Amino acid sequence: MQPSIINPPGRVESILKNQAVFPRINGWCFVELEGRTFCASILDIKDNQAEIRVVNSRIPVTEWKVQSHPLDKLSPTIFLKHDNLEDLLASLKSTNTLTTPKIENALRTIDRSLFCRETPYANSSVEIGYDMCISAPNMHVQALECSKELFDNAKAILDVGSGSGYLTALYAELAPAAHVYGIEYYAGLLEESQRKIDGLPESLKSRITLRHGDGLKGLKESGPFDIIHVGFMCKEEPTDLIDQLAPGGLLLVPIGNRVSTLNPKFLAGELYAFQKQADGTINKYSLFTCSFVPSQQ
């Protein structure tokens, strides 16, 4: 299935330029490379050339490079509002966002409709209470694809701002030897997500622990962590979380402080990957532009 690209002749350029300055969509486009469609983050547009970073889960994030493409080779990103899981998965696969069969299986096993009250199969964020949102499926899938090399050997994973508990459950499903910790600021959301986790099979729920508190401080006593995911926008680099990475570990964290023009409840910024090397040095990569709810601390 092809992504639903609406591509009105003559208007592509203006749509792309709008997307580039529109913080919620955050300069996303589709690009055709070697016969495949990929999502890409638009970083800059000059003289009908766009600087983009292609979100290519077929290669490690360390190899994602900025590329320059003429605007007429790019298409605006318009996603259909799917009403069933199979169509959502087909759409995520058609843009090469979802490329790993194990992750696809996990998305079938842990059904998003358990954690999300309405439109669970639309590729969009959905309110979960307290002005907070479960992230859009493409954002969760991109995070999982970025951390997939670590699943088999991961011992501990930390989901900061666990919200609905959906991503926490997916990590437990995908990393069979890991204990997965979630930290959530709102006690009400924590209780609701705990009830959902309690309904999962013993093999999953026995490896999930949810905690109440400020996630920016991490969970030192349960670390170090092979994967840390942050589900809200941080204003600056979360140093405690970087410290709690295991050697070889990966931190995925949105950082930024621009108010989204579409939804003033969201902040716009960039998703960063911090990789801790065996000798403790940290490499930092900017992956793509994104919008998340702000940190509550």
Which residues lie near ligand SAH (CB under 6 A)?
130, 132-135, 161-164, 166-167, 183-186, 189, 214-216, 231-232, 293, 295-297
249 token code pair: 């570990």
N-term to C-term CA, the chain: 42
What contacts 179, CB < 8 A, 6 or more positions away? 155, 156, 157, 207, 208, 209, 222
Residue 116 CB, nearest distance to ligand SAH (Å)? Answer: 8
Q: Are 262 and 192 in contact (CB under 8 A)?
A: no
Q: Is 206 known to be catalytic?
A: no
Task: Give the residue with the Cβ less far from ligand SAH, 123 or 135.
Answer: 135
For ligand SAH, the closer CB: 27 or 215 = 215
Q: Which two structure tokens, joined as six digits, stand for 30?
A: 């589709």
User: Which of residues 17 and 24 has its CB atom nearest to ligand SAH in the complex?
Assistant: 24
**Nearest residue to 13 via CA among 74, 95, 68:** 74
CB-count burial class (<10 Å; 0-12, 13-18, 19+) for 73: middle
Question: Which two three-digit tokens encode residue 173?
Answer: 């499903």
Q: Which two tokens stand for residue 48?
A: 């009908």
Closest CB 186 distance from ligand SAH, rounded Å: 5
Q: How far is the CB of 190 from ligand SAH (least distance, A)?
A: 9
> Which residue number, 44 or 214, has a Cβ lying nearer to ligand SAH?
214
Among 57, 75, 91, 135, the active-site one is 135
Residue 294 beta carbon to ligand SAH: minimum distance, rounded to whole angstroms: 7
Point out the residues that are catalytic.
135
